[in-house]
């Protein structure tokens, strides 16, 4: 399973070795670790099978996804062409960066990464510095942004069952001057698309885990990189929310689930439990999240 050994199981058998390989793959790719090859895990397996040069890369709808796209983004970024975060999704910014590279290299500007463009990338990439430009620009944007929540566009997303908490969060954030959009939808990709369409400055997803006895917060990490702003916000939330709920601190972790991978702004996903604590302390939770977000606005990448 893409570098994870499962040969101890017979052909066509999903046994213990295959489940262990599935879990290892999920952990390596920032997915939910359940040992089940569901839709997201299968899609990640397909993406992991592509190498740069296996196919023509160009912008289409739905966008091309894969490790080859991530490799292209990384190579362009190290040459100074800003693809945005390295996420393995060939969107508008990657298309523009590819066209800019072709223009600067004297190639036909068609936005298609084929053999000629790849050969030029290989040749020029040998002299490129190792530091991609996207993380540097993300930090610069964060440092030059407003230092309060006044007029900042904040998206609060929940997948079902947390309407009351979402309302508490909305009230608390509006009181700071933030412009708040609340999303109620179970699908992370749909949440991300709505947040992108709203040109949000920050995305906060909240979910309840019935089996959890604490709070953990995830930020985007994948393909060797991570969101600086998302990681900082996750750390600040973890410093505030467990105490507000009087539950265990489950820490932070980098993940590549759709709500984090597909958003185009700093994003976090806060998973809470037990449900009784979330219901009983919704007001305290909303205050803690708002305070953490205000601290993030004041110092988003320190």
From first to last of its 302 residues, what are the pLDDT tens digits of the chain? Answer: 565 555 666 677 888 888 999 999 999 999 999 999 999 999 999 999 999 999 999 999 999 999 999 999 999 998 989 999 899 999 999 999 999 999 999 999 999 999 999 999 999 877 666 667 777 788 888 888 889 999 999 999 999 999 999 999 999 999 999 999 999 999 999 999 999 999 999 999 999 988 888 999 999 999 988 999 999 999 999 999 999 999 999 999 999 999 999 999 999 999 999 999 999 999 999 999 999 999 999 999 87
Classified as helix, coil or strand, 193 is: helix
Tokens 């604490």, residue?
A: 214
Ordered DSSP codes for 266-297? -EEEEEE--HHHHHHTHHHHHHHHHHHHHHHH
3-state SS, residue 254: strand
Q: What is the DSSP letter of 64?
A: P
Query: CATH number of the domain at 51-144, please?
Result: 1.10.101.10
Query: Can you give the pTM of this predicted structure?
Result: 0.92
What are the extents of the domains in the chain? Answer: 1-49, 51-144, 148-298
Distance CA 170, CA 193 (A): 20
Query: How far is 219 from 265, CA to CA, in rounded Å?
Result: 11
Region 148-298: CATH code: 3.40.630.40
């Amino acid at each position: 399973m893409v570098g994870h050994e499962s040969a101890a199981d017979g052909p066509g058998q999903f046994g213990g070795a295959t489940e262990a390989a599935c879990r290892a793959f999920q952990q390596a790719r920032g997915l939910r670790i359940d040992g089940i090859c569901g839709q997201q895990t299968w899609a990640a397996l397909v993406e992991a099978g592509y190498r740069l040069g296996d196919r023509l890369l160009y912008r289409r709808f739905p966008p091309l996804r894969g490790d080859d796209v991530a490799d292209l983004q990384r190579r362009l970024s190290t040459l100074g062409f800003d693809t945005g975060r390295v996420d393995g999704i060939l969107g508008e910014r990657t298309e523009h960066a590819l066209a800019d590279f072709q223009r600067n290299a004297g190639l036909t500007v068609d936005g298609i990464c084929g053999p000629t463009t790849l050969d030029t990338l290989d040749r020029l990439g040998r002299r490129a510095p190792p530091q991609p430009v996207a993380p540097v620009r993300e930090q610069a944007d964060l440092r030059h942004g407003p230092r309060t929540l006044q007029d900042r566009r904040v998206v609060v997303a929940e997948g079902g069952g947390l309407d009351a908490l979402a309302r508490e969060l909305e009230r608390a954030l509006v009181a700071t001057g933030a412009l708040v959009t609340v999303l109620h939808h179970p699908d992370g990709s749909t949440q991300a698309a709505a947040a992108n369409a709203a040109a949000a400055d920050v995305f906060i997803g909240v979910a309840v885990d019935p089996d959890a006895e604490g709070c953990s917060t995830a930020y985007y990490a994948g393909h060797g990189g991570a969101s600086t702003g998302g990681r900082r916000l996750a750390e600040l939330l973890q410093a505030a929310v467990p105490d507000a709920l009087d539950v265990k601190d489950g820490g932070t972790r980098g993940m590549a689930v759709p709500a984090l991978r597909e958003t185009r702004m700093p994003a976090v996903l806060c998973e809470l439990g037990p449900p009784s604590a979330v219901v009983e302390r919704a007001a305290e939770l909303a205050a803690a999240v708002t305070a953490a977000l205000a601290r993030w606005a004041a110092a988003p990448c320190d």
